Each structure stands twice: as C-alpha cells, then as structure tokens.
C-alpha cells in the first residue's frame, strides 16, 4: 500500500525546455547540465529526454559512465575536472572532456599515459573566486596546455556570479576579454541566466542547467513566465485526514500556528523526509483540489497541514500539488527562503517517481 505521494517527470517538458534554450542561443552548441543526478530528477530516468543536446555536463565520474553505458556517444564534460592524476586513464578511456583549473592538473596531464588526447576546458576565474586561473595567467596556461601532447582541443570557460541580478556580467566579461583576447580558442561562458538574458556571452557553447528543468535561475518565477519553459517535475500527494479546529487550537509541533477562528485543515502525506523544506513557514503556497491555499504550522517528517478554508469541498483523497504544473517550484522555494535548485535536488529516494511522455 504505497503512500499517495509521487513525483511525475515530463520528458516532453524537458524536450521543450531544450528547444527554448536553442531559440535563445541559436548559434551556440548546448551542454545540458545534469549534475546532482540531473538536479534530483534522476539521470538514468531523464537523459533520453535530452538526446537532442550537443553534450552533457556533470560532476560525478560514475554518472558519466552511466551515460556512456546507456548509449550516449556524444561529448561529456566534467565540470569540476579530475581529482587525481590516476583519474586521467579513465577520463581518456571513456572519451570525456575535463575542466582544468589548477596547476597540478597541468603536470598530471603532461605525465599521463592515455589512449587518446583529452579535450580540456580551461577554467578562468573572472570573479566568482571558486575554481580557475587568474585571467592574467590565461595566455601562459593556454600555451602550456597546447604544448602537452596528451591534450586535445582547448576551450575557454568561466562562470558568472551575478548573471541573474542587476550587477550582470559585464565586469566579468571585461576581465575575460582583457586576459584572453589574444587566444584563438572556442569559448563557453553562459550559464542558465546568461543563456536567457545575456546573448553577448553565448559564444560557441552555452551551459544551461536549472532552466532545462523549468525553473528560474533567479529564483523568481515571474522572470521566466514568458519564456515558454515548462516544469519537468510535479510533486503531488493527497489529503489523508481532515481536522476541525476551534478558535485557539494549535497545529503541529510547537503549535506554531494557532487558529483565529473555527476552520478545517487537511493533513497531507508529504514531509521533510520526502524533500519538502522543513523550514517552510505557515503560508507557503500549496494547491488542494486545484485551489490555491497555504500550509499551516511546522512541516513534520512525513506530513504537513494545509488550510481548507478556500476549498471547502476538499476531503480525504483530494489531490494536492506541492509544486509543478500549477504551482511554480520557485514560489514554494521563495516562501521557504531557498531556491528551486535545492528543492529539486532534495527529492528523497523514498518518493516514487513516474516518467511521462
């Protein structure tokens, strides 16, 4: 007797979102970013919905092998690169492209015994201050890589910190231009936000992630409302109990919600052990029987409570959408003080997943 909660994934929505990316960057090839198990959607379940991509970008070597063994023969990019010199034999064996962001990796490449040259993405730190070489080093590092016979094609790469906000990308683009203008090589700069909103950064490849799954890189659903993006994941459940409250009754752990008048509430089979954010406060949007309403009280491990005042016909068995087709995941995330990225990635293993066309 399975619980009524389930996540439904739409491959049609995924394919649609890839086409939205192509419309925004018609002259660029597309790396579909499927890191973190395809943002919680399950790489093995959904990769075929992205078969029209030009390549897949991810972090985990085992996920790269999964794609190869599943039949993907195109490019695969390791966004964080390799982590030890011993990794390079397998990187070459599986025909992977690797980011290079540290000096020790240059030495490892030069000493590697590989079956074929390895294509690399030279990571430049243009202001994010995570991975990458300083722009002033770019020419020197590029020349070093060109001299290594174990290295194939070299592509320049950077990552934007504020492509989704008012600061924009011009400062980082200026640093890239200053450091790399003399380098003749393909370029891959644009993340999801830059793919949508900064065409000057599209260059040879774009790297969309969150937008492939139908959510906003800014965390604001309104920012992508007119793009044609569609949510891939819908998390749904049902009302499993109904309670009638009197004025003053409290709800849930610590009684954080107190009824101001008589009201009906519903108990939903979904909690933080399913991936719903425990810190979501009373008032977080939720849809019951197609009607917009709100959560009440503290989210429990396995259940949460909802206000049935706007939907008086609701009863045990009434459908509930936690996020998805009717309710943008970004709206739920915003109410909980987080991002849609986190909610997608946190979907628990115990939640049944259905894949639809």
Q: Exposed, middle or buried, 312 (CB in 10 Å: 0-12/13-18/19+)?
A: exposed
> What whole-number distance in Å separates Cα of residue 25 and Cα of residue 204?
10
> What whole-number distance in Å separates Cα of residue 3 and Cα of residue 348?
14
> What whole-number distance in Å separates Cα of residue 62 and Cα of residue 194?
28
> What whole-number distance in Å separates Cα of residue 242 and Cα of residue 143?
69
Query: Could you say which of 89, 175, 253, 276 is catalytic?
Result: 253
Torsion, Cα of 149, 153, 156, 161 (10° steps): -100
> What whole-number distance in Å separates Cα of residue 298 and Cα of residue 291?
21
Instruction: State the chain's maximal CA–CA distance in angstroms.
Output: 77
Q: Exposed, middle or buried, 71 (CB in 10 Å: 0-12/13-18/19+)?
A: exposed
List, in sequence order, every beta strand (DSSP E) within 133-186.
151-157
Is 247 a residue of the active site? no
Long-range contacts of 60-64 (CB under 8 A, 24+ apart): 60/35, 61/87, 61/90, 63/34, 63/35, 63/37, 64/94, 64/96
Question: How many C-beta neighbours within 10 Å does residue 309 have?
Answer: 14
Is 35 a residue of the active site? yes
Q: 319-323 and 233-245: which strand pairing?
A: antiparallel
Query: Could you say which of 27, 29, 35, 189 is catalytic?
Result: 35
- Is residue 323 within 8 A of residue 286, CB to CB? The reply is no
Question: How many C-beta neighbours within 10 Å does residue 289 have?
Answer: 19
> What whole-number distance in Å separates Cα of residue 329 and Cα of residue 318?
21
Active site residue ranges: 35, 253
């Amino acid at each position: 007797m399975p619980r009524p909660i389930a996540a439904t994934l739409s491959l049609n929505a995924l394919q649609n979102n890839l086409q939205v990316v192509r419309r925004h960057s018609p002259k660029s090839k597309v790396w579909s970013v499927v890191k973190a198990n395809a943002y919680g959607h399950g790489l093995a379940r959904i990769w075929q919905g992205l078969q029209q991509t030009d390549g897949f970008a991810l972090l985990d070597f085992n996920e790269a092998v999964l794609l190869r063994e599943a039949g993907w023969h195109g490019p695969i990019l390791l966004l964080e690169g390799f982590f030890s010199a011993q990794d390079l034999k397998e990187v070459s064996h599986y025909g992977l492209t690797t980011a290079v962001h540290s000096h020790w990796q240059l030495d490892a490449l030069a000493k590697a015994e590989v079956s074929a040259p390895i294509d690399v993405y030279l990571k430049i730190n243009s202001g994010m201050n995570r991975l990458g070489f300083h722009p002033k080093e770019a020419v020197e590092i590029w020349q070093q890589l060109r001299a290594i016979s174990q290295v194939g094609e070299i592509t320049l790469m950077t990552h934007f910190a504020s492509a989704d906000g008012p600061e924009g990308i011009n400062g980082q683009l200026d640093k890239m231009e200053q450091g790399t203008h003399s380098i003749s090589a393909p370029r891959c700069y644009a993340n999801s936000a830059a793919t949508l909103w900064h065409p000057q950064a599209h260059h040879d490849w774009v790297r969309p992630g969150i937008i492939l799954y139908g959510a906003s890189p800014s965390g604001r659903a309104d920012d992508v409302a007119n793009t044609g993006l569609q949510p891939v994941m819908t998390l749904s459940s049902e009302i499993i109990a109904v309670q009638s409250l009197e004025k003053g009754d409290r709800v849930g752990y610590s009684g954080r919600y107190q009824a101001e008048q008589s009201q009906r509430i519903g108990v939903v089979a979904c909690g933080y052990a399913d991936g719903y954010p425990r810190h979501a406060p009373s008032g977080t949007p939720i849809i019951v029987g197609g009607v917009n309403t709100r959560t009440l009280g503290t989210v429990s491990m396995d259940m949460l409570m909802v206000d049935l005042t706007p939907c008086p016909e609701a009863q045990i068995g009434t459908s509930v959408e936690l996020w998805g087709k009717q309710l943008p995941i970004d709206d739920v995330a915003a109410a909980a003080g987080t991002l849609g990225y986190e909610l997608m990635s946190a979907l628990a293993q115990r939640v049944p997943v259905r894949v639809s066309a």
